[in-house]
């Protein structure tokens, strides 16, 4: 096992901005599995999953090699923010990065050269941020691995349909190299995270089984639903968001209430947020009362009408 600090640049504070890579060599030949977290800095549960996974790896007999980047964007982690506070950039829109660009682009460039270009498989862990909680996995170029992670809900982006597929992502770099890539969205929000952490640990092990890095098949997975379309529903007013939605993974009828925005000043309801999807399934939600800004991530609802649903 080795830990490498890769210097990126010097900050105005005098501090050195670096990324840290942890490498674990297995006993037999096999692929190099790359695991990363905190491309967005408000997704601490993903870092926790990798910290606990690194502890497990010490007693694990596996084939191949594992490269862990626990924090892809230290600036955003420090700021506990989705974007880097120094330049307001969203790192997952600027890949492959630019060594002569914004500091976030410099970081992305370092991540591309030292991590994304050195791996044979990528699992990129994301979460819902400090307020929303989320639960789904993308299917892009490695359906077997995405399914092996074991989440009940998956998303297969479709050209021309509403969803959450963007340019400038980490997996855009790896997919461009035909590297099997899995983006996981798991946990987050102002709720107990241990069940999400446990699922994250199991999910990574399941992917290692699917890759032959661990003996035996992956654990049996739950019945899975794959949606092709996701509606992101954002509050148009700021205030206290009071959740009304069913739990994640449950269906919701069109027009049903997702939540209400209450003014903390007048104490009146200023907005009732309704589900725009005729036959929906909850993917991202606020599980406790918290404060939202206009345009924040409020809810994500999958469309069950053209979803792939296992019997
Ligand atoms: Zn994220």
For residues 166-192, give the mean pLDDT. Answer: 96
Contacts of 166 (CB under 8 A, 6+ apart): 92, 93
Residue 281 Cα to ligand 1 middle (Å): 20
Residue 126 Cα to ligand 1 middle (Å): 4
Phi/psi zone of residue 168: left (φ > 0), alpha (ψ -120 to 50 degrees), beta? Answer: left
Residue 131 Cα to ligand 1 middle (Å): 13
Residue 141 Cα to ligand 1 middle (Å): 19
The pLDDT, as a whole number, for residue 161 is 80
CB atoms within 10 A of CB 52: 15
Residue 129 Cα to ligand 1 middle (Å): 7
CA nearest neighbour of 122 among 177, 165, 159? 177
Residue 167 Cα to ligand 1 middle (Å): 14
Residue 37 Cα to ligand 1 middle (Å): 8
CA nearest neighbour of 227 among 211, 203, 196, 248? 248
Residue 55 Cα to ligand 1 middle (Å): 23
Residue 295 Cα to ligand 1 middle (Å): 17
For residue 175, pLDDT beyond 70: yes
Distance, CA of 272 to CA of 136 (rounded, Å): 25
Residue 241 Cα to ligand 1 middle (Å): 21
CB atoms within 10 A of CB 46: 29
The rounded mean pLDDT for the chain is 97
The pLDDT, as a whole number, for residue 307 is 97
For residue 163, pLDDT beyond 80: no
Q: Which residues surround ligand 1, an ion (CB under 5 A)?
A: 40, 126
The pLDDT, as a whole number, for residue 164 is 66
CA nearest neighbour of 162 among 233, 225, 91? 233
Q: How confident is the model at residue 162 (pLDDT cuts 50, 70, 90)?
A: confident
Number of continuous H segments (helices) and E segments (strands) in the chain: 6, 18
CA nearest neighbour of 203 among 33, 16, 72? 33
Residue 40 Cα to ligand 1 middle (Å): 5
Residue 311 Cα to ligand 1 middle (Å): 31
For residues 297-308, give the mean pLDDT. Answer: 97
Residue 286 Cα to ligand 1 middle (Å): 16
Cα separations (Å) of 289 from 191, 238, 242, 244?
Answer: 11, 13, 5, 10
Residue 186 Cα to ligand 1 middle (Å): 10
Query: Please, are residues 252 and 275 in contact by the beta-carbon 8 Å criterion?
Result: yes
pLDDT in tens, 108-156: 999 999 999 999 999 999 999 999 999 999 999 999 999 999 999 999 9
User: Of all residues in the chain, what percent carry a pLDDT higher than 90?
Assistant: 96
Reduced to 3 states (helix: H, G, I; strand: E, B; else coil), residue 117 is: helix
Residue 184 Cα to ligand 1 middle (Å): 9
Residue 62 Cα to ligand 1 middle (Å): 28
Spacing of C-alpha 150 from chain mean position: 15
Least confident of 12-21, 64-73, 159-168, 192-201: 159-168
Residue 9 Cα to ligand 1 middle (Å): 23
pTM, two decimals, is: 0.97
Distance, CA of 186 to CA of 46 (rounded, Å): 8
Place of tokens 């691995």: 145
């Amino acid at each position: 096992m080795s830990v490498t600090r890769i210097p990126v640049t010097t900050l105005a504070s005098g501090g050195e901005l670096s990324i840290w890579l942890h490498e674990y060599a297995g006993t037999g030949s096999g692929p190099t599995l790359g695991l990363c977290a905190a491309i967005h800095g408000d997704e601490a549960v993903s870092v926790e999953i990798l910290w606990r996974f690194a502890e497990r790896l010490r007693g694990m007999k596996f084939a191949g090699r594992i490269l862990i980047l626990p924090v892809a964007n230290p600036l955003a982690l420090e700021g506990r923010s989705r974007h880097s506070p120094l330049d307001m950039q969203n790192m997952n829109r600027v890949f492959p990065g630019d060594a002569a660009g914004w500091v976030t682009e410099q970081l992305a460039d370092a991540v591309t050269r030292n991590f994304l270009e050195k791996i044979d498989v990528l699992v990129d862990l994301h979460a819902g941020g400090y307020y929303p909680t989320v639960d789904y996995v993308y299917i892009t170029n490695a359906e077997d691995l995405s399914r092996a992670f074991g989440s009940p809900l998956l998303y297969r982006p479709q050209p021309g349909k509403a969803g959450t597929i963007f340019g400038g992502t980490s997996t855009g770099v790896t997919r461009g190299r035909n590297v099997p890539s899995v983006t996981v969205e798991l946990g987050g929000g102002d709720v107990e995270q241990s069940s999400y952490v446990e699922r994250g640990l199991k999910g990574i092990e399941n992917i290692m089984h699917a890759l032959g890095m661990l003996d035996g098949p992956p654990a049996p997975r739950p019945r899975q639903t794959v949606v092709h379309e996701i509606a992101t529903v954002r509050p148009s007013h700021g205030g206290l968001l009071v959740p009304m939605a069913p739990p994640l993974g449950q269906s919701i009828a069109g027009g049903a209430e997702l939540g209400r925005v209450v003014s903390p000043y007048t104490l009146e309801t200023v907005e009732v947020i309704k589900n725009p999807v005729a036959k929906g399934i909850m993917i991202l939600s606020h599980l406790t009362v918290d404060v939202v800004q206009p345009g924040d991530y409020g809810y994500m609802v999958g469309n069950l009408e053209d979803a792939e649903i296992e019997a």
